Structure 1
């Protein structure tokens, strides 16, 4: 019997056990063509898979469902789980295989069920009435159609019903949603992996098809979807242990419902004709995914109004589940919220008062070592502070960015003189900086920058031009990337970083008003002479200085998701006080909520996972998802609010800012290319 109190290692051992047990009997999705039901049921009994419900081992059930999904295997493990939870008297018979139960799908008198061989009972769950009904099976007839193995039409006898604890019904509902989403996730992840492998090997026009830009963009888009879907499944599993699973499971199910077909289609498009024939797994995964999607939609339609995702969103203040980052980080969250509350001023903040109080509390130097006046905070604590500040509207955004980007680099690469001069300013939130990276020919491709610095004795002479330098007109210093070796190879070599006062002779600033209303600048550097003491790090070692700020950049990246969460909660507040939106608009709102929660979850994963190829992909995955989401959210907000949303305010401002989330820091198209290459696809 399995125990749901086990740790991650025990769960990993369980998944290895399932994989090994299925290796010969149902190794992949093509096994669906010749299902070995008797042997499979005997294996499930032997392995104890039908005991999971009695043990309350929900995370094991979800892991098992995901592995079965990879193989297009519709074994009714979740049906047995739910039956043993709602009707404990059945647990022994279910565990032994003497009874096999399927949840009712379709008509209650003549339901269609998968894996019908040997079925003894059909379980009908009525959330509205708070009852479950068990109906004995009289006869079973296979029905040819989309699913393979074929589903069966079942005739049932006289049903027997009984009332059930509403909390148990809610748990059952959450698990049915979640296991269906897990099956879909396992299936589309498998299809995606197969298509990625194919793209690296299949050659057309003399090169691998993965080198074509269109294929790279499609593969990366699918990878973003499956990564988001997997993250939501994992988060929902954690919510089961907390006793508040309904919203998390609903979000995971909604994302699976919305994106699984697109991921599968992307895999088939990449595979081409190979994936269209029964010799390939994806042809069988196609049947499985579309059958499972139909079932999941039926689950959603049968839900009581109160537990539908769109209604739950409107019913609760700040409804999206909080992502717990540990006790220490959550204690800091409470501290930051209190700090913000103490300095609210009407609809805004006393910014100078907040800056001073945050500096006194060591918030800006949060992650620095204590000997430099920091608090030695963990990454999770940094995420919490950045999230709460961004949710509040970024009242001290510039100071936060300065300490996380410049402070981190100065601690690692700066001289004693530089640290003595700048760390106190950064710690107090008083360094007004701008970032001198982008150029006319070097935007997302920063390694191609050409602004040049030439050594002249103890000085350097800088010439060139920087574009889109936000806040350059109010900055005291620029964090400037220049080329000091024009002949260096590879391209990212030969770059050096300087921290230069903006009042240095030869610097000219031209202001431009962005679509968002923000001022960004073109900055010209004409014979700008700076001493070598302004250089940060080694000569030609600037790329390391830039990339060493990766941890800080991943923390800052979470600001987009936190900002969108703030807008989302504000939109819900406004909708609660207005006429009920149309059903179609509410449906769009629910779909967006699932993507937003995925973006938030991936930010945390990207921050924590700093090593390994998959971990490094989480940064661009999160960035693309958040940027695309911002644009969709801005449009949805105006659709929901109507012409009133056009007046100056939060939501029209968000829509105007949204393109920057797709462009800034490397366009989403470039980021998807990075993802594709990270998956092993060759350069275009």
Structure 2
């Protein structure tokens, strides 16, 4: 189905639920059998025959939002396994046969922790490793009261209705579909609780203020939104992978499931924390959503894959994480980039901050620096996908190109939009050749994340400006020829960002003094002093007091480069997998071990970060969807914190060897792990701390300052 058809189908599901199961709080009394009849009448169980997983998942999501356990994907999986039996498939689709599913073989006579067994007529038993799948009638059910509402049941089976031989792959797919259903439902229930918490935070007043203005509430709300957004994106990736028949569709789905397994309870707890007492009593929907989230998450333990979990598949296999499909143009260009990188294989791996003039020259000769610019500026109008691919491949292969690419994304695009013709003629050719060595003059002692409060001052003196002030954390300032400098040209302007202008100034201009500092990562960052620095007005980029627009356009280039952290973490994960695969049992232990759990956590985190990055890249300034606009800061927060977690976890997995530097022969990962850990701190403080980013996310959700 097309996305418009799926949206219309979801609307129809909501309408049916409004008449039969209108809200979570009706879970103890609603008639699930009546809903099952209605669902069959409206064709919900016919989706398996059509392979319309997107529509089925859309229905499950709506069910989760009202805490309803109607087993849509149980019927979906049954129809797929018995697709050769038209009569049986039709009986399941029509609702004559109502199926619930579990793992097991023909010897199973009783199944525990079953949802909807009282309304079902048959149990599908799926042998996880392949073999004979059995459809048996349900003989009796016994209610087992507890966390789940409606209560789980213990179901006893009767006569065999049908059998079919299935391969290990078919069995694995069926199990994954059942697991996917629980994950979709749990995340949808948690998301609904989160939405209610956000609305509550906008209205509830304490201590004379709306609670949504409290920093703790904003931080918690933003963290929940990141978990939800990443989960929904991963689930969407899983659906696309299934519908396109991709070889890695099961791994794609399991990455989504494992993210939800950890995230949904966190989100639900966060929602309850914000709702406080109002969400604790059963008149509210939150307690019923709480039961659904935790009930579905714990039931995932009853559906175990024979192939093992994400860590087992990666540790015992040979592949990597599923690729993000950037379309035919993007993937064709990816092959071209990798072909060039293969020619310079001996230059790769030294880190993206290194500079290799031969490799930069080769990339420039290909026309890839500024290739998204129009032809009159020396470009060829390359697609966004191609730009993303070049930056991702550079980061993944640790190619010494990032400074040349940074000049394109952070300076070139702004000069193209705001620069004079003279500036374009001077700087764009340098950027296309990879020969513009620059640094950014943004941060100050009192202006880090809050760039609009900068104080470095430029005062006009005829055709010149006189600049005084101090800039901090100017990375590479000691090696740069030019500084892209933001200064205040109107100290009285309101709002604060209205009085800022941007200059591009030679670093050897009299009055500029550079003081070097070595960062934890080993990089040199500088404090730069500007004492009566006199520059001509021709060095100003953009309008006087119009620098904020220039800065915003420059930072827009981060949409292209923001995927770098995800690509770098992906490379570290592949380096880790290479170490693990030398001796999986010896390095991470047997299945179910704590070290395998750590490996799974890292893999899921990397894929979730990649999903957020892809969403941010796809969004445009015209995109009205709030989640798309928030994807960039969400990706930044998740990626930065994952980088720290990754470095720490690798030490736990590999031990002291992972803390050795690249200078030590035979060090795991070539020294990338200890460097990655040292560098990780920069990801949570550079470009605005994660606390600030979460504040932006919270305000994007409508919470007040």
TM normalised by structure 1 equals 0.96
* SS of match in other structure, 2:192: helix
Equivalent-residue separation in structure 2 for 1:365 and 1:162 (angstroms)? 58
Alignment of 1:6-85 (within 5 A): 6-85=1-80
- Indicate if the aligned counterparts of 1:104 and 1:111 stay in contact, CA closer than 8 A: no
Give the 3-state SS of the residue equivalent to 2:562 in structure 1.
Answer: helix
Q: Which residue of 2 aligns with 1:661?
A: 683
Aligned pairs for 1:586-597 within 5 A:
586-597=596-607
8 A Cα contact 2:442 2:486, kept in partner? yes
Query: 1:615 & 1:370 partners in 2: Cα distance?
Result: 30
CA apart distance, 1:351: 2.1
For 1:379 and 1:347, the matched residues in 2 are separated by 24
| One of 651, 654, 658 as aligned partner of 1:645 | 658
Deviations 1:117-160 (Å, cap 9, x if unpaired)? 33211111112243312222111222221111122221212456
Moved more, 466-475 or 351-360: 351-360
Determine if contact 2:587/2:653 at 8 Å carries over to the other structure: no
Q: Find the counterpart in structure 1 of residue 271 from structure 2.
A: 267
Deviations 1:400-436 (A, max 9, x none): 0011110000000000000000000000111010000
Quick one: which of 664, 674, 677 aligns to 2:696? Answer: 674
Which of 383, 401, 409 aligns to 1:378? It is: 383
Partners of 2:182 and 2:380 lie apart in 1 by 44
Is 1:332 the equivalent of 2:333?
Answer: yes
In 2, Cα distance between equivalents of 1:580 and 1:620? 35
* 8 Å Cα contact 1:105/1:295 also seen in 2: no
1:355-381 deviation line (CA, Å, top 9, x unaligned): 111001111112111111112112221
Find the aligned partners of 2:152 and 2:302 in 1 and give their Cα distance: 16
1:611-652: CA deviation from partner (whole Å, max 9, x where unpaired)? 223322111001000001000001111111111112111111
1:258–1:591: 8 Å Cα contact kept in structure 2? no
> In 1, Cα distance between the equivalents of 2:131 and 2:470?
69
Aligned residue number for residue 664 of structure 2: none
Q: Which moved more, 1:129-138 or 1:6-15?
A: 129-138
Supply the distance in 1 between the matched residues of 2:34 and 2:357 (Cα, whole angstroms).
71
Q: Where do 1:215-294 residues align within 5 Å?
A: 215-243=217-245, 244=247, 245-294=249-298
**1:595-619 C-alpha deviation (Å, 9 max, x unpaired):** 1111111111101112223322111
Q: 1:538 deviation in Å?
A: 0.5
**Inter-CA distance 213–14: structure 2 relative to 1 (3 Å threshold):** same
C-alpha distance in structure 2 between counterparts of 1:108 and 1:363, whole Å = 64
1:3 corresponds to: none
Paired residues of 1:68 and 1:75 also in contact (CA < 8 A):
yes
Q: Is contact 2:394-2:401 (8 Å) kept?
A: yes
**RMSD of the TM alignment (CA)?**
1.5
Offset, 1:519: 0.4
| Aligned position for 1:502 | 507
Task: Choose 38-47 or 320-329, whichever is displaced more.
Answer: 38-47
1:100–1:120 CA contact under 8 A, matched in 2: yes
Instruction: Give the equivalent residue in structure 2 for 1:604.
Output: 614
CA distance in 1, matches of 2:420, 2:518: 37
Instruction: Look up the match of 2:667.
Output: none
SS of match in other structure, 1:521? strand
Structure-2 separation of matches of 1:374 and 1:381:
13
Contact between 2:113 and 2:299, CA under 8 Å: does it hold in 1?
Answer: no
Distance 1:372 1:386, change over 3 A: same
Match of 2:94 in 1: 96
Report the Cα offset of residue 61 of structure 1. Answer: 1.2
Query: Can you give the 5+ residue segments of structure 2 that lack an aligned partner in the other structure?
Result: 662-670
State the partner residue of 1:626. Answer: 639
In structure 1, the residue matched to 2:200 is 198
Contact 1:510/1:521, CA 8 A, preserved across alignment: yes
> Counterparts of 1:309 and 1:270 in 2: how far apart (Å)?
33
2:116 counterpart residue number:
115
Distance verdict in 2 for CA 1:386–1:347, change over 3 Å: closer
Secondary structure of 1:33's match?
coil
- Structure 1: any 5+ residue segments left out of the alignment? 1-5
The Cα of 1:550 is off from its aligned counterpart by 4.2
Match of 2:579 in 1: 574
Q: Give me the whole-angstrom Cα distance separating, in 1, the residues matched to 2:159 and 2:451.
A: 71
Residue 369 of structure 2 aligns to a residue whose secondary structure is coil
- 2-structure distance, mates of 1:38, 1:130: 32
In the alignment, the residues of structure 1 paired with residue 327 and residue 316 of structure 2 have an alpha-carbon distance, to the nearest angstrom, of 27
Change (3 A) 1:357 1:110: closer
> Of the candidates 362, 379, 401, which is equivalent to residue 396 of structure 1?
401
Q: CA deviation at 1:575?
A: 1.4
In 2: Cα distance, 1:491 partner to 1:545 partner: 15
Tell me the CA shift for residue 281 of structure 1.
Answer: 1.1
Is it true that 1:171 corresponds to 2:144 in the alignment?
Answer: no
Deviations 1:453-487 (A, max 9, x none): 00000000000000000000000000000000001
CA deviations over 1:180-222 (Å, ceiling 9, x no partner):
2111121111111111111010111111111111111100100
Please list the CA deviations of residues 273-316 of structure 1 after superposition, one character each: whole Å capped at 9, or x if unmatched: 111111111110000011100111222xx221x34211111234
My pick for the range that moved more, 570-579 or 419-428, is: 570-579
CA distance in structure 2 between the aligned counterparts of 1:602 and 1:226, rounded to whole angstroms: 11
Q: Is the deviation greater in 668-677 or in 29-38?
A: 29-38
Q: Is the 8 A contact 2:125 2:134 kept in 1?
A: yes
Pair 1:210 & 2:212 matched: yes
Q: 1:368-403 CA distances to partner (integer Å, 9 max, x unpaired)?
A: 111111121122211111100110114111000011
CA contact (8 A) 1:499 1:535 kept: yes
Displaced runs of 4 or more, over 3 A: 105-108, 158-162, 315-318, 346-350
Counterpart CA distance in 2 for 1:347 and 1:200 is 50
Structure 1 residues 185 and 480: CA distance shift in structure 2, 3 A: same
Match in the other structure for 1:554:
559
Contact 2:130 2:168 in 1 (8 A): no
